[in-house]
């Protein structure tokens, strides 16, 4: 999940600049690396290509006139450059990555191998469908798994990411309302929601109406029901919610939403916590996106690509975006236009058919776990989070009563009067070799720290993390603020000046003047 | 289960530490009516061998592009990707990291995204580029919405020669986001008079280069016309490699470039994941969608990078964000950056020349086939052919003979009988002389 950092102008603790300790600026395995543009030698090339035989150009006089400005590097330079860059990143492969709401779990390498099979990676979306029956079967199989796990009758697979899935879901809601001649104006979104929820509702032309939380960290049902009315198109609710808590009154909420003639959208970012134990259809949900890159472990890749299929109830299924796969007289058939059963489809949301490479990985993940393993995924994810909650609850501060689901939320009361902020605390974790948790989200508690260990962490790993967090909390209470204010001191960079970055944006490299 | 580290003993000890008797107690908040007691009707866990056998079986039923003479394009292109690219993007530090919200431990991702932004700006001839969007089609829709924000207008003109998927995605967004589109019909090979559709309410004109039919055009005059009326010019590029050889949109007066970057570094993948490229003028940067990486310094004054201008984005701005977008195509952008770093200036230009040369040879061969007429006056690596009969049947006939001949336009425009005889064929550096012979022979046979 998202968080943001406040900028720090100077080293707050006056500690020595470690980079000055070596002649090169390097520090052992941390090697300073220039931009590719600063390693250029004109004419050098990392790919050997033949010169084409003579031909008569057909470009109509539109040839490029000047140079592009791209640097020339050999293959060894390129391999070394990107290897060095990779070593400046923290990753799941390096250690615990407890970003709440992001489900940073292990990414199995079998999935990578299968996604690269020529019969899946080297097929074109517009080659004759008669030449890709296996691809259609794979997509249909994925759809079957997703429909079974959610209990929903249909799933739209084309959305490219979670936020794209939200857009898809709210578009189908609006299409359904328009079809019944009942356009509505408002979408209810809890204050604890992901930022994409209000952004999506607003993008679809709805007025966003925020619903407060109750003292238990759940949506305030009375406030919610008071806001329901004939102009409400949908409720967008995350369950388990962004406080890591299950919305226990969800069935009653769904009923109230339906009584008001509205649709119930569920943000499925946290499906990880309940997969195999709860079917969204049994909760009264009409529409829910799934982040294949969260629950089903397709790699986050430094920020994408993702995939955001949307499970749809029968009332919304006719509006699912193109393309569709249907079971016809000749097996699995693709419908690529608004015809036949897809006549009411909202149209296309993306070029071609969706994130096939992610479908392969997600299906391999689901088949590896099976129905039994997926249920175990939810149980271990919830167990791990509650274990951390029990281990840390007395040292940190917990805003809401437990148990939690797959993630545990802390606030910053335990840092009161220490001079240490949530941001400082997170940065100190970096020096300890951990990626920080999600911070300052959700917005409904002060100085939030949202910790999601996921099911792929061992008990020993959790014990180690808990011991470090406890030690840091003790250090903060003991007044050791220097440890926090200057953190991180041991990462490839110390805190970045984000204020300067935004004030005079430098968004690309340019050659030095003269 | 091989991905789950907890042992039964661990689970027992952890439940005890939590103070509950069983894991079910942790799910107590779930309403009893919604609790699943048993397992869902799906297969049980399987080992690597079984999963590989099942999915490998599905893969084996498809005809891989590399196994046949292959001329399919229309917005996705088969190019050779150097071995180093896929090796490097599978380094766990790239593959298994999150969005770089903690810049101190994400400098690797941030630096390559800064390099990526620079490469995209250079290629397109624009001043600034973002850190990528989902794909070319969604980048196109985002470009229209950005033009609406910049101009305060709500009507866009989409060229008839814009890729039909891009037109359809724009139409979906237009209906729900609430803006208007003027969409002249497709007229292969003809000059469209788009300027006459521009008025004081027009936010932008969207054109494609090379266009859907493969034709190249100079958009400078249209850009001036747009600017005179206070509208922006959006140029879409679906074959980014063309910019190795062709004058870039930035030199023709484009205000926004929305492109598909799949051609560099990324496999065909049956349509995704791909890579939306998005570039613009400096003065519009605060209206741009998606993530941006900026250069700055750390607390010791060392150069470093961080996500910047995030006040445009949904996680800060919520319902007032420029776009609801959160995820981008980070790893696809990395593949693009590595491939382009390997090519460099000299390699990119040569690769583009190889593509153009292959397409010229293709055009010269198929034009000699009786009944086949080349629609284009100009092209880069893809062209439109008019056949004497519906192209879909010809493509199926050639597929049966092991040749993937191209895209029948009717696949994308089934409701336009006047386009049914059109076939789009692309030739990249992967196409051999022998492949072209087989296509020409296959066409001659199918048309005889």
| End residue of a domain, out of B323, B339, B355 | B339
The C-alpha angle B134, B114, B118, rounded to 5 degrees, equals 85
Option in B95, B296, B341 nearest A301 (CB):
B95
Exposure string over A487-497, b if 16+ CB within 10 A, otherwise e:
bbbebbbbbbb
Q: With H, G, I as helix, E, B as strand and everything else as coil, classify residue A64.
A: coil
Same domain, B395 and B263: no
**Res B321: pLDDT:** 77
Asked if the Cβ–Cβ distance from A5 to B101 is below 8 Å, we say yes
Q: Residues 364..383 of B with a Cβ closer than 8 Å to A: which? A: 376-380
Over range B308-323, report the average pLDDT: 79
Evaluate whether A126 touches B72 at the Cβ level (below 8 Å).
yes
Q: Is A463 an interface residue toward B (CB < 8 Å)?
A: no
Please tell me the pTM assigned to this model: 0.97
Same domain, B274 and B364: no
**Res B322: pLDDT:** 77
Closest by CA position to A454, among listed A509, A380, A401, A374: A380
**Mutation for testing the A interface, residue in B3, B43, B146 having most A CBs under 10 Å:** B3
**Res A4: pLDDT:** 38
In chain A, the N- to C-terminal Cα span, in Å, equals 44
Over range A453-460, report the average pLDDT: 98
Asked if the Cβ–Cβ distance from B106 to A90 is below 8 Å, we say yes
**Res B339: pLDDT:** 98
Q: Count up the domains in chain B and report the number.
A: 3
List residues bridging with B306 in a β-sheet: B294
CATH 3.40.640.10 given to domain A111-365: yes
> What does the CA dihedral A330, B417, B68, B273 come to, rounded to 10 degrees?
-80
Same domain, B18 and B154: no
Q: What residues have CB less than 8 Å from A491, skipping those under 6 apart?
A: A430, A431, B104, B105
Same domain, B28 and B123: no
Q: Residues 56..85 of B with a Cβ closer than 8 Å to A: which? A: 56-67, 70, 72, 74-76, 78, 82, 84
For the cut 70, the answer to whether the pLDDT of residue A13 exceeds it is no
Whether residue B13 lies inside any domain: the answer is: yes
Residue of A nearest to B70 (CA): A127
Same domain, B319 and B425: no
Mean pLDDT of the residues in chain A: 94
Q: What number of other Cβ atoms are within 10 A of residue A67's Cβ?
A: 10
Same domain, B350 and B427: yes
Q: What number of other Cβ atoms are within 10 A of residue B299's Cβ?
A: 24
ipTM of the complex: 0.97
Mean pLDDT of the residues in chain B: 97
Q: How confident is the model at residue A432 (pLDDT cuts 50, 70, 90)?
A: very high
pLDDT, tens only, A410-423? 999 999 999 999 99
Same domain, B327 and B410: no
Distance CA A189, CA A219 (A): 10
> Domain segments of chain A: what residues?
111-365
Option in B117, B326, B345 nearest A161 (CB):
B326
How many percent of chain B have pLDDT more than 90?
95
> What does the CA dihedral B287, B290, B295, B298 come to, rounded to 10 degrees?
120
**Res B319: pLDDT:** 78
The C-alpha angle B156, A203, B145, rounded to 5 degrees, equals 25
Q: Is B9 an interface residue toward A (CB < 8 Å)?
A: no
**Res A6: pLDDT:** 37
From A4-18, A78-92, A295-309, B335-349, the region with the lowest mean pLDDT: A4-18
For the cut 70, the answer to whether the pLDDT of residue A227 exceeds it is yes
**Res A9: pLDDT:** 40
Q: With H, G, I as helix, E, B as strand and everything else as coil, classify residue A332.
A: strand
Q: Is A94 an interface residue toward B (CB < 8 Å)?
A: yes
Q: Residues 186..215 of B with a Cβ closer than 8 Å to A: which? A: none
For the cut 90, the answer to whether the pLDDT of residue B326 exceeds it is no
Question: Whole domain around residue B376: which residue ranges?
Answer: 72-79+344-447
Same domain, B218 and B177: yes
Distance CA B357, CA A59 (A): 11
CATH number at B402 reads 3.90.1150.10
Give B405 to chain A, closest Cα distance, Å.
9
Same domain, B198 and B327: yes
Over range A155-170, report the average pLDDT: 96
Evaluate whether A272 touches A378 at the Cβ level (below 8 Å).
yes
**Res B323: pLDDT:** 77
Over range A319-330, report the average pLDDT: 95
Q: Residue A189: which H helix or E strand, with range? A: strand A186-190
For the cut 60, the answer to whether the pLDDT of residue A3 exceeds it is no
CATH number at B326 reads 3.40.640.10
Asked if the Cβ–Cβ distance from A85 to B111 is below 8 Å, we say yes
Same domain, B241 and B379: no
Q: What number of other Cβ atoms are within 10 A of residue A312's Cβ?
A: 27
DSSP class per residue in A236-297: EEESS-TTS---TTHHHHHHHHHHTT-EEEEEGGGGGGTTTTB-GGGGT-SEEE--TTTTT-
Whether residue B66 lies inside any domain: the answer is: no
For the cut 90, the answer to whether the pLDDT of residue B315 exceeds it is no
Same domain, B182 and B312: yes
For the cut 50, the answer to whether the pLDDT of residue A7 exceeds it is no
Between helix B433-447 and helix B330-367 the angle, nearest 10°, is 60
Distance CA A110, CA B4 (A): 15
Asked if the Cβ–Cβ distance from B3 to A368 is below 8 Å, we say yes
Over range B227-247, report the average pLDDT: 98
Closest by CA position to A237, among listed A167, A291, A287, A175: A287
Same domain, B23 and B154: no
**Res A15: pLDDT:** 55
DSSP class per residue in B322-356: S-------HHHHHHHHHHHHHHHHHHHHHHHHHHH
**Res B325: pLDDT:** 74
Over range B105-115, report the average pLDDT: 98
Give B348 to chain A, closest Cα distance, Å.
9
Over range A31-56, report the average pLDDT: 96
């Amino acid at each position: 999940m998202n968080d943001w950092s406040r900028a720090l102008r100077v080293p707050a603790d006056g500690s020595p600049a470690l980079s000055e300790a070596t002649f090169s600026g390097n520090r052992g395995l941390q090697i300073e690396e220039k931009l590719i543009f600063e390693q250029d030698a004109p004419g050098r090339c990392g790919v050997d290509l033949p010169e084409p035989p003579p031909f008569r150009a057909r470009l109509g006089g539109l040839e490029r006139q000047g140079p592009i400005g791209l640097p020339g590097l050999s293959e060894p330079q390129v391999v070394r450059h990107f290897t060095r860059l990779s070593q400046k990143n923290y990753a799941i492969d390096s250690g615990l990555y407890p970003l709440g709401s992001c489900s940073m779990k292990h990414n199995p390498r079998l999935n990578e191998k299968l996604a690269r099979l020529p019969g899946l990676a080297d097929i074109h979306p517009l080659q004759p469908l008669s030449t890709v029956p296996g691809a259609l079967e794979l997509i249909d199989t994925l759809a079957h798994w997703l429909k079974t796990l959610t209990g929903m009758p249909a799933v739209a697979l084309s959305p490219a990411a979670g936020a794209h899935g939200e857009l898809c879901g709210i578009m189908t809601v609006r299409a359904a309302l328009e079809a019944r001649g009942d356009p509505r104006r408002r979408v209810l979104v809890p204050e604890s929601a992901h930022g994409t929820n209000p952004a999506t509702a607003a993008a679809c032309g709805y007025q966003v109406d925020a619903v407060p939380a109750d003292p238990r960290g759940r949506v305030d049902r009375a406030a919610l029901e008071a806001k329901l009315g004939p102009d409400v198109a949908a409720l967008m609710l995350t369950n388990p919610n962004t406080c890591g808590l299950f919305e226990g009154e969800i069935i009653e909420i769904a009923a109230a939403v339906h009584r008001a003639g509205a649709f119930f959208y569920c943000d499925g970012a946290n499906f990880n916590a309940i997969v195999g134990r709860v079917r969204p259809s049994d909760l009264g949900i009409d529409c829910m996106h799934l982040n294949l890159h969260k629950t089903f472990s397709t790699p986050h890749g430094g920020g994408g690509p993702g995939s955001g299929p949307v499970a749809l109830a029968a009332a919304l299924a006719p509006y699912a975006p193109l393309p569709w796969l249907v079971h016809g007289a000749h097996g699995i058939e693709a419908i690529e236009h608004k015809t036949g059963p897809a006549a009411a489809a909202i149209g296309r949301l993306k070029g071609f058919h969706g994130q096939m490479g992610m479908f392969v990985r997600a299906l391999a993940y689901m088949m590896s776990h099976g129905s039994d393993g997926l249920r175990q995924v939810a149980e271990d994810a919830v167990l791990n989070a509650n274990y951390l909650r029990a281990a840390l609850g007395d040292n940190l501060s917990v805003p809401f009563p437990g148990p939690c689901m797959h993630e545990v939320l802390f606030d910053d009361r335990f840092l009161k009067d220490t001079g240490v902020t949530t941001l400082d605390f997170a940065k100190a974790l970096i020096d300890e070799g951990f990626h920080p948790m999600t911070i300052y989200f959700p917005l409904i508690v002060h100085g939030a720290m949202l910790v999601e260990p996921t099911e792929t962490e061992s008990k020993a790993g959790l014990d180690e993390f808990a011991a470090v967090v406890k030690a840091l909390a003790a250090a903060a209470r003991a007044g050791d603020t220097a440890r926090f204010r200057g953190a991180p001191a041991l990462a490839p960079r110390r805190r970045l000046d984000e204020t300067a970055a935004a004030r005079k944006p430098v968004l690309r490299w340019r050659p030095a003047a003269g | 289960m091989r991905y789950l580290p907890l042992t039964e003993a661990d689970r027992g000890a952890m439940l005890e530490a939590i103070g509950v008797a069983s894991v079910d107690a942790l799910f107590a908040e779930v309403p009893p009516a919604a609790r699943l007691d048993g397992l869902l009707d799906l297969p049980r866990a399987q080992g690597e061998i079984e999963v590989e056998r099942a999915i490998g079986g599905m893969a084996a039923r498809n005809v891989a592009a590399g196994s046949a003479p292959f001329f399919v394009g229309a917005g996705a292109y088969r190019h050779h990707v150097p071995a180093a690219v896929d090796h490097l993007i599978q380094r766990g530090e790239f593959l298994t990291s999150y969005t770089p919200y903690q810049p101190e431990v994400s400098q690797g991702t941030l630096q390559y995204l800064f390099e990526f932004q620079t490469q995209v700006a250079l290629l397109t001839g624009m001043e600034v580029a973002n850190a990528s969007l989902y794909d070319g089609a969604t980048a196109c829709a985002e470009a229209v919405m950005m033009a609406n924000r910049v101009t305060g207008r709500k009507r866009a003109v989409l060229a008839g020669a814009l890729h039909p998927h891009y037109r359809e995605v724009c139409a979906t967004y237009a209906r729900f986001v609430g803006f208007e589109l003027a969409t002249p019909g497709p007229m292969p090979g003809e000059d469209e008079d788009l300027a006459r559709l521009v008025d004081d309410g027009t936010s932008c004109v969207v054109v494609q280069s090379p266009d859907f039919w493969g034709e190249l055009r100079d958009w400078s005059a249209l850009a001036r016309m747009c600017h005179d009326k206070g509208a922006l010019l959006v140029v879409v590029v679906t074959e980014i490699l063309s910019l190795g050889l062709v004058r870039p949109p930035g030199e023709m007066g484009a205000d926004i470039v929305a492109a598909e970057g799949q051609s560099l570094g990324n496999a065909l993948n049956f349509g995704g994941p791909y890579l939306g490229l998005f570039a613009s003028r400096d003065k519009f940067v605060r209206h741009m969608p998606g993530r941006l990486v900026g250069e700055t310094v750390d607390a010791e004054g060392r150069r470093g990078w961080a996500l910047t201008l995030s006040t445009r984005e949904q996680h800060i701005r919520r319902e007032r964000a420029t776009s609801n977008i959160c995820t981008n195509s980070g790893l696809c952008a990395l593949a693009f950056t590595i491939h382009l770093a390997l090519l460099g200036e000299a390699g990119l230009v040569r690769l583009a020349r190889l593509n153009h040369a292959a397409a010229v040879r293709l055009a010269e061969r198929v034009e000699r086939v009786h009944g086949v007429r080349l629609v284009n006056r100009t092209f880069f690596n893809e062209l439109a052919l008019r056949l004497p009969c519906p192209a879909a049947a010809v493509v199926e006939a050639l597929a049966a003979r092991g040749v993937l001949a191209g895209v029948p336009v009717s696949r994308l425009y089934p409701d336009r009988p006047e386009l049914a005889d059109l076939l789009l064929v692309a030739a990249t550096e992967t196409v051999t002389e022998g492949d072209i012979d087989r296509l020409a022979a296959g066409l001659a046979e199918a048309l005889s």
